[in-house]
Structure 1
Amino acid sequence: MKAVILIGGPQKGTRFRPLSLEIPKPLFPVGGQPMIEHHIEACIQVPEMREIILIGYFNNCEPLRRFLQLAKKKYNVPIRYLQEYESLGTGGGLYHFRDHILSGSAPDCFFVMNCDVCCDFPLKEMLKFRQEKASNATITILGTEANRKQALNYGCIVEDTDTHEVLHYVEKPETFVSNVINTGVYIFSPKVFDCMREVFEANYALSLEETCKRDSIRLEQDVLMKLSGSRTGQVFVYKTNCFWSQIKTASSTIYANRLYLGKFQRDCPDLLESSSEPNILGDVRIHETAEVDPTAKLGPNVYIGAGVKVGAGARVKESIVLDGAVLDEHCCILHSIIGWNSKVGQWARVEGSPCDPNPNDPLAQIASDSVFNEDGRLNPAITILGKDVTVSNEMIILNSIVLPHKELSYSYKNQIIL
């Protein structure tokens, strides 16, 4: 077995800023470890996993190189990064590096995962489903359910409920098609490259006026939509009830942090602080080098990074506090991300608005709203302090995004502070 993780690259968009100004998005810590490390941990649980390949277009990225060195030693499995010469779409990188994926003892099938998803990753169950019910499939999709309204934001799958063959696939339809959605986790057969080759050749048959990126292949539109509905048993879906969420925006990391901390509580509770301590509420993970005053109250769903100092009487809830930050006495941090080496003064309050799915709808997914609403105003969301931000004593920062290296001596509400 092999696994391929699609990590993308630098974007012009702002949905993950200011966090992505300091670190590549795949390395942002969620649940106390880099986002991509959750994928790697799931992959190494699969029997006979021989290699993990990362495909993206981060150029000369020293943090990524260091992470790979540490991950290879920690997990004792070959992990390598293949860099695209430009953004080739969700499928273009796979096709461009097909010889690397199939090198050595060519795998009968291989996993493909998008990096920007938070998931319980039932990979062994997914592989068992393929072996028992879809052994000749070109693609097996991990699917989950969303409500009717939110399904329109995802790739929608219509399946044969008896065989689980995909009869129809539409990426972000305009009208309701199905509440079964694509999670961005797949098992591919090497036969998928035959379909990709047809797309590649069709792109080159077009004139330059009709396509400016001939090497780009869209996995969802060019491959999945083409193979689905052929009734030839090429695409199947394995539905899961495990937790799943996208991590498209900086705000969504707080919800993903909660999901992963909950997973640790079930699978490896030693990573978390003991809930028997009076000032620990729910799932809390604290780096071993952090200094937390015993009178500070933390939780639920909090990660405290390396070298963080939390003062007496501080309150932290539903938040991520990144390495080197200082939280002074009696400050309050709610639904927020405190950036690297930032400082929150005494009695200051940093608070955001939760972006949780509707708790009364079991099929609800986290909303992926844009940063601004139709009036051009900032949508209420979590508060984010970039790197090296100082909040003065007794100030209130509410529903705001603060870029790095700022000193806030006034209170702010619903603002982007440049």
Structure 2
Amino acid sequence: MKAVVLAAGYGTRLERDLQDDTSGKYSHLIGIPKPLLPVGGVPLVTHWIHCFSTVPQISSLVVVVNDLHKPLYEQWSKTLPQEVTIVSDGSNSNEGRSGAVACMALGVQGCPNDTLFVAGDTLLKCDFSLATMISKFESLKKEDGRACLVLGCPVSEENVSKHGIIEIDESDRVRHLLEKPQPHETASRLQCPCVYLISAVSLPLIQEFLDRTQEQPLSCRDATGKFISALVEQVPVYCLPVAGRYDVGGLQSYLSCCTEFASDGMVAAAQDLCKVK
């Protein structure tokens, strides 16, 4: 199994907040991509590296980045005890970005294996167990080799329109994913963070999605939820419920993430794995 971390975004909202902050307290964070921001004493993405190291099924790791931040990720990767492949989407600006779904395809080039996709700016609450997720995924594949698995976590009423919302049936199969719907458009209050297990059989559907949308605006390919929305119409996609996620968007949500993450006691393992240099 391969793990692919999607880290090619430019974090424009956070960068704008940092530039506008007049206190000067956070000026040292300007220019740092969100996955490399310190959370609990180490870069955010390092917590995922620790998580991957806890399961034997993951045998290779790819981080998809942009050209602008590639040197920062190469420096970070040298602090890790295991090999990480850094792949660039070739972009140097937010306007020239390839889009998150294209980065998914880039991360699995030449990979015939089941793949775990993770957004590099996402962290989950302490109840999340990657081993449990993989176990359920493997069980689902025994029933149907095309099966895929995503996460579902509660979202407040006022934040429904900010996330991809999944509607599931009594068997936890995802029937629809609605990208940023208004609260009245769905009864579901489950958001779908970008933590997906896609079966090897279903991986070609990523490129098929890109081929179908290549003439459409970039926004059609820049949210992984758009691909999942199409995927649920083609293969069985199931939901694993989790308690929630930490939001890392603007400056205030980043600071809240740091506070909440530390209060949940999720720091020591990743600190042991990798020290910030």
TM-score of the two chains, using structure 2 as the length reference: 0.80
Residue 237 in structure 1 maps to residue 235 in structure 2: no
Shift in Å, 1:139: 2.6
The equivalent residue for 1:261 is 262
The equivalent residue for 1:34 is 43
Larger proportion of strand? 1
**Equivalent residues of 1:138, 1:190 under 8 A apart:** no
Aligned equivalents of 1:12, 1:233: Cα separation in 2: 34
Q: Match for 1:91 among 88, 101, 122?
A: 101
Percent identity, aligned pairs only, is: 17
Larger proportion of helix? 2
The equivalent residue for 1:17 is 18
Aligned equivalents of 2:88, 2:211: Cα separation in 1: 22
**Equivalent residues of 2:8, 2:103 under 8 A apart:** no
The equivalent residue for 1:227 is 231
TM-score of the two chains, using structure 1 as the length reference: 0.55
Residue 148 in structure 1 maps to residue 152 in structure 2: no
Q: Match for 1:160 among 147, 169, 185?
A: 169
| Count of residue pairs brought into register by the alignment | 254
Counterparts of residues 115-264 of structure 1 (less than 5 Å): 115-119=120-124, 120=126, 121-135=128-142, 136-161=145-170, 163-174=171-182, 175-177=184-186, 178-204=188-214, 206=215, 211=216, 216=221, 218-221=223-226, 223-228=227-232, 230=233, 233-241=235-243, 243-264=244-265
User: Any stretches of 5+ residues in structure 2 without a counterpart?
Assistant: 20-26, 92-96
1:10 maps to a residue whose letter is Y
Higher normalized contact order (CA 8 Å, seq sep 6+, divided by chain length): 2
Aligned equivalents of 1:51, 1:83: Cα separation in 2: 17
Q: Per the alignment, in what secondary structure is the counterpart of residue 48 of structure 1?
A: coil
2:118 maps to a residue whose letter is M
Cα-to-partner distance string for 1:346-404 (whole Å, 9 max, x where unaligned): xxxxxxxxxxxxxxxxxxxxxxxxxxxxxxxxxxxxxxxxxxxxxxxxxxxxxxxxxxx
Cα-to-partner distance string for 1:237-260 (whole Å, 9 max, x where unaligned): 11112x412201121222211232
Shift in Å, 1:236: 0.8
Shift in Å, 1:25: 2.3
Aligned equivalents of 1:147, 1:11: Cα separation in 2: 23
User: Any stretches of 5+ residues in structure 1 without a counterpart?
Assistant: 272-287, 289-304, 307-418
Against the structure 1 CA distance between its residues 59 and 47, is the aligned structure 2 distance closer, same or farther, given a 3 Å change threshold?
same
Shift in Å, 1:213: 5.2
